Structure 1
C-alpha cells in the first residue's frame, strides 16, 4: 500500500486533471440529457385449441400436447423477435413524427424494449419518447403494425406449408409403395416361410437353459463355499478329512488308542508311588511304547503322506460329522459343475442352430422394417396436413392486447444514478490506466534496477524523525551514519574529496551529507562541508548561510566562496549563495576547483564533502566529477525514478566518475538503535 500511495502521490496533478475532466463530463451529461417518458403495454398469447391424435404405427403417436409437436422452441421469444424485427420497425419509423432525427434504424430500435415474462404467456412492451404523447403514439403504432405483420406472416406460412406438405406427402406415399413391392417380390422369389415362431422357441429354450445353468453354477458355488468353511473349521483339506474319517472308523486303531489311554492312566498312578526303575513302572512304560508304535503305524497307513486328524472318532457327533458334511459338499459341487458344463454344451448347440438360419430371413425382416418406417412417415405427414387444417394460427397466433399503452406522468429518464455510477467507474478505471501509463514511462526505482551495478559500499539510512540535523553539542547521530562514516574511512579517496549527489530533488542527499559529516567528525576526522549546489544552496540555507545574488562574472564568485566557516570543532563549511546565470562556466573553467584548493589551503582537512545539485537536473554536477571523481550516490524508495537513476549513473560513468557507494535513504527501521552524543555521554534509550 505504501508503494501504491507513493505512485499516486507522484502523479497527483495528472490524476487531479483527469478526475476534474470526468466530473465535468458527468455534470455536463446530467445537465444536457433530455427527459424521457415510457409507454408500457402487455400482450398475451391464446392457448391452442386443436385436438389431433394420430397413430404413426411403429413410430408411436402424434398428439397436440406432446413435446416437439410445434416447431417453435419458445413461442414468446418468437413473438418478441417479430416485434423487434427490422421489417416491422421500418414500417413504424415511416409514420413516426421524429423520423428525421434517426439516421439509422439501429438507433431507433433502442426506443423499444420487448420482454417475455417467465412462466406465463404474457409479453411486456416498453416504448420511449421525448413526450408522453409521443411515447404512447409510438406504442399504439407498433401494436397496429405488429398485427398487420402477423397476418402477412400467417398467410405466407399457410401457403408454404400447404405446398411443402403436399409435396412431401406424395414422396412418402411413393416410398411406402416401393417398400411394400420390395417385400412382396422377395417373398415370391425366395419362397421364404416366416419362421418367427421357431426362432422364438429356440430363444426361449436358450433362455431356460441359461437360467438352469446359472442355478447350477450358483449351487456349485454355494457347495464350494461350504467346503471352504468346513475346511477352515477343520483345518483339513477334503482329502485329508476323508483319510482322517477312515482312521477314525478303524476299530483296531480305536482299540489301541483306548488301551494306550488306560496304560497312561495306570502309569500316572504308579509314578505317584514308585520311581521309573520299579519293575511295574518299567513294564507299563514298555507297554506304552509298543502301543504308540502301533498307533503310528495305523496313522501312517491312513495318511499316505498327508496330514490327518488322529482325534476323529465315530462314536460322537463332533469332527466326524463335520468331515462327513465336507465330503458330501465336495461330491455335490463336483456334480453341479458337470451339470453346468453339459448345459453350456446344449446352449452352444442351440446358438449354432439359431445362427444357421438362412440369411434371407434377415433380409426379409429388414425389408419389413423399411415398410413400417415408410408407413409411419406417411401417417405422420397426413397428420400434419390435418393439423394445418385444425389450427391455422399455430405458428403465428392472433396475439391479443392485454393492457393497452399507458404513460406514467413522471419521466423515466435520464437515470441520474447510472450516469453518476458511470462517471465514478470512468474515474476509477481512467485513474488506474493513467497511473499505469505514466509509471510505465518512468517507474519508481526497484532493487532490480540496481542489480547490474556493483557498489563497494551499500548503506541503508532509516527514516529520520526530523528532516533537519542540529549542530549543537550533544545532538544525537544515527548509528547508520556512523557505519557509513566507518566504511568511507576505509576507502582510498583521491585528494580526500567525496562528491555526494542524487538523480533528482527530494532524495535526501543534503541530509546524508550533513549526517556523514557529523559522523566523520565524531570519529575524530577534520571535515570540510562544501555547498556545490550553486542554484539552490540548500546546504548553506539549512545551516543559516547564503543569500540569493546575481552572478556577474566568475572571478567575483571565486572571491565569495573561498573562506570556510567553522561550524564546530573539526567541522567547517564552505557556503555559497543561490545564483543565476551561466553557472556551468564556473565549473568548466576551473573556478570551482580553484575555490576548493583555496579553502583546503587554509586548514588541513581529512575529508572534503561536496553536496552537489541532482545529476539529471543540471550539467555542472557531471563536470564536478572530473575534479572529484569519488561519488556517493543517494536514492530514496518511493521517490527515486528508475530512468533518472540509471541515466544519472550513466552520465557519471561517461565523466570517468567512480561511484564509491550507494546510500538508500528513508527506509523503514525495524528497531530503535542506541544513540551517542558528541561529548561521549551515553543516552539511555
Structure 2
C-alpha cells in the first residue's frame, strides 16, 4: 500500500478556490464541474426504476394476477345489437303539414338526434319493454341469472320487481350513433344471449310504436285544442253577427250587397261591398241626374246653334219639299228649252214662268212650316230636359241628407262589422287547419325503421381476457412506476454520486462499497480489497483539498449514528499510517463511544478526563497495534459533554496532539440534535462529512451541513458509505469497481 499513497510536501499544490465559509469548490477527485457530472433525466428515472424494479415487478404481477382473477370470476355477458334508422322527417304521403316542428339547420338537426338518443334511454321505453317481455315475472332475468338470488326476489311485490326489471333494461342499454348518418346501434348486455337479443329487438319495436303513439297523441291534442278554439271563435262570431244585426235593425240600416267597394271578395274575383238602401238610391239617382243633365245640355245646344242645321236636314227629308223641288227642276228645264227656242215672250214660256213662281212660293211656305215645326220640337225637348234635371236634382238633394244621417249612424255599425269580419276570418283559418291536422293525423307515417334486427350472440362480449391482461399490465406498470417515484421521494435517501453536489452543496470525496459485517475486518486489512481501495481514493481526494496536502486535524462527523463514521476514521488512519505518517485517532463521541469497540480495546480514561484536567495527553494515548497509529478513547461518559467541548481545553488538547502527530483524526458525534460536532468543527482544520447511502435523507444532511457552516466550519468534502451501486441502478461505469487488474 506504500506505493499508492505518499505524503505530499507542503506548498506542492496551489490553493484551490474557496466557496461559502471557506469551503473548497475544486478538488482533484471532483475536478469536473457540476454541469459536467449532472445526471441526465432519462438516466435519473432509469436508475430509480431499476432500483425499485422488484417493487414494480411485484405491483405489475399483482395487477395482472388481479386482472386474470377478475376475468375468471366475472360473469359472462353477451351483447346483442339492433340497427335502426331514424329519419328527421317522415315520408310525405300528402302535402299537408302536421303538428311536428320542421327545420333544416344543423343545430336543429343535432337537437333532433340528441332527443332520439334520450328517448331510446327513457324510462317509459324500458317499462314498455318490461311489459312486452313480462320481465317482472322472469326471476332469472331479475337475479342476473344467479340462482341464489331468486328466492329473495320472490318475496318482493310485483311493483318492486317491475321497477328492478326497468332499471336493469335501462342500465344495460347502450345507444351508439353512427357519425355523419341517421343510423343508430342499440345494444343490450345480458348474461343470457337469447334474452339479450329479445330485449334488443323489443327496444327497437317499442321505440317505433311509441314514436307513432307520440305522433298520434300530438295530433289528437292539436285536434282537441283546435276544436275548443273553433267553438270559442264560433260563439264570438255568432255574438258579433247578432250584435251587428240588432244594431242595423235598431238604426234602420238596410245593407245590400253590390259589386264594387272593398269589403270582401267573391269567388269570381270581383269585389263585393255592402251598401244601405239610401246609398244605393242616391247612387242610382246620381247616375240618372247625370244623364238628365247631359240630355238638358244637348237639348240646349240643339236649341241654340244646331237648330238651323236640324231644320235644313228636316226640309231635305220632307216629301212635299222634295216633290216641289223635283217639279221646279222639271219646269225650269222646260222653260230654259222653250225660251231658247221661242224666246221669252212665247206664251208657253210665260205660262211656265208663272208656274215656276207659284212653285217657289209653295216651296217657301212649306220650308217655313218645316223649320217652325223643328224649332218647336227642340224647344219642347229642352223644357222637358230641364224639368227632368230639376226633379232629379231635388230628389238627390233630399237623399244626400238622408245618406249623411245614415253614415253618422253607420260608424258604430262598421266597428261591429269589423269585429264580425275578424272573427269570421279567424274561424275560417282554424277550420282549415283543423281539417289539415285531421287528415295528417290519419295518415300514420313513421320516420323510424329497423335496418338489422338483433341476432343471438354466439360469443360473450365480457370479460375480454386479452384486454384484461393488457389493462392489468399497463395499470401495473403505471402503478409500479408511480410507487417507485413515491418511494424514492418519500425515502429521500438517494443522496447519490450524480446529485451529491446539487443536493448537499459539498463535493464528493468518494464512496465506499457496501459489505457484509463479516467481511469488514478482512477488507480493512487487505490492501487490494474494494473497501481499502475506496478509502485510498478518498485519501487522495483529501490530500488535494488544501495547498499543503492532507490537513493536520480532520473532524469526521455524520448526520445520525451508525453511518460508518468510526469505520471511516479508522480506515483513513490506517491509510495515513501505512505511508509513514504518525496518526492519532481521537474518539470525541463522549455520548456513545464506539472507536474502542472497532479497535477491540477496553474503554478506559480518555478525552473526557483530559477535558476535566485529570492527566496529560501522553497518559491516555494508547497504541492501536498498527505502526504509526495511536488512539485516544472518549473516556468515561460525562454528564454534559457539550459543556466540556465548549471550553478552551479542547483547542489546547488538539493543538498539543497536532504538535506530536502528523495528523489528528477526530471521530466526532452526529450533528443533528447535538451541539458537540459544531463545537469540535471550530478547532479542526477540516471537516469530513460521512453520509450513509440509502439511509440519510438529503434534507437531514443539508440541515446538518448548515449547522457546521453556521459556526464557520471548513468542509473538505463528504464520503458516501455503504453504497450498493448495482442495486441503486448505476452498474459498472458509474459506481466504484476496484477489482480491475485482479
Q: TM bucket by the smaller chain?
A: 0.3 to 0.5
TM-score w.r.t. the length of structure 1 is 0.46
Larger radius of gyration: 2
TM-score w.r.t. the length of structure 2 is 0.43
Question: Highest relative contact order (Cα 8 Å, sep 6+), 1 or 2?
Answer: 2
